[in-house]
Amino acid sequence: MSATARGPRATLRAIARVPALGLTLLCLMFVVLLVVLCPLRTTRRRMAQQGLRWVCRVLLAALGVSIVHRGPRPPRGALVVANHLSWLDIPVVLSAWPCAFVAKREVRRWPLIGRVGDALGVIWIDRRRPRDLLRVVPLLEQALARGEQIMLFPEGTTTDGQSVLPFRSGLYEAAVRAGAPVYPVALSGQSTSDDADALCWYADETLFHNLPRVAALRGAQITVHVGAALSQEPNRKALARCSRAEVVRRCRGVQRVAVGEEGWAPAWAQPARS
């Protein structure tokens, strides 16, 4: 939906959030500066995790996006797998608990994001080269064995939230080798605005186009529904099928709800963890 189609109130709402978004950018730059200047790797990573958690909470508040949680918090050493709606998925997860991600290599070139990702222990993968799995899987296995929590979006791309694509099984091999538990997570969204679809970032839409759409939303909410750890499956393909089935069972897509209408989310709602 275009800016003109959103209407004057939505446009004014987006404009009113610009100062808070500017503050978020300054906070991110400050975190990056601290990370770059810190000489110790372990301290640098801890600073990145705590600083980015704070920045993500500021960002979501600036955009007017509220988060509700359901289910257990995944432990250290777990592989966490989720459906992928938007760039928002990452700040939503990082605002709740610290983890590292598997991300496409192109993101490493984004200003500020690449430096913070390196400090967080993000594992960069070239999705255009299937053989890059031979390099990435052992890195993931080692990270899980060290007790790190890894977040993975096995669809390999974002969607419109109306369906969950097949989960690619290649990276699950690391969990099989490390004997790590796998936790399925369903991400769902809702808004009282007509443009609730802004909570999805897919196709050819740019981040600079999607950001003002999100800022213009009213009553935006994302639900993070964590399932129980999956029982150990014999191979990565079985793990991928089982985890996708659990995500599909919990996922409610992205939808518009009327003002004052409870919709589906409040039945799940629990206070966000500090």
Total domain count, the chain: 1
In a domain, 29, yes or no: no
In a domain, 11, yes or no: no
User: pLDDT by residue (tens digit) across 123-157?
Assistant: 999 988 889 999 999 999 999 999 999 999 999 99
Return the pLDDT at 151.
95
Return the pLDDT at 145.
95
Bridging pattern class, strands 65-70 and 220-226: parallel
Return the pLDDT at 37.
75
In a domain, 142, yes or no: yes
In a domain, 202, yes or no: yes
User: 104 to each of 101, 110, 123, how far by Cα in Å?
Assistant: 10, 11, 8
Return the pLDDT at 261.
56
Q: What is the mean pLDDT of the chain?
A: 86
In a domain, 56, yes or no: no
> Which range marks the domain in which residue 124 is found?
68-207+219-267
Number of neighbours of residue 167 by Cβ within 10 angstroms: 25
In a domain, 99, yes or no: yes
In a domain, 37, yes or no: no
In a domain, 252, yes or no: yes
Return the pLDDT at 108.
83
Closest CA to 90 of 71, 116, 70: 116
Q: Consecutive sets of 10 residues in the chain, 274 residues long: mean pLDDT of each?
A: 60 84 83 74 78 90 94 94 96 91 85 79 88 94 94 94 94 94 96 93 91 93 95 88 96 83 41 37
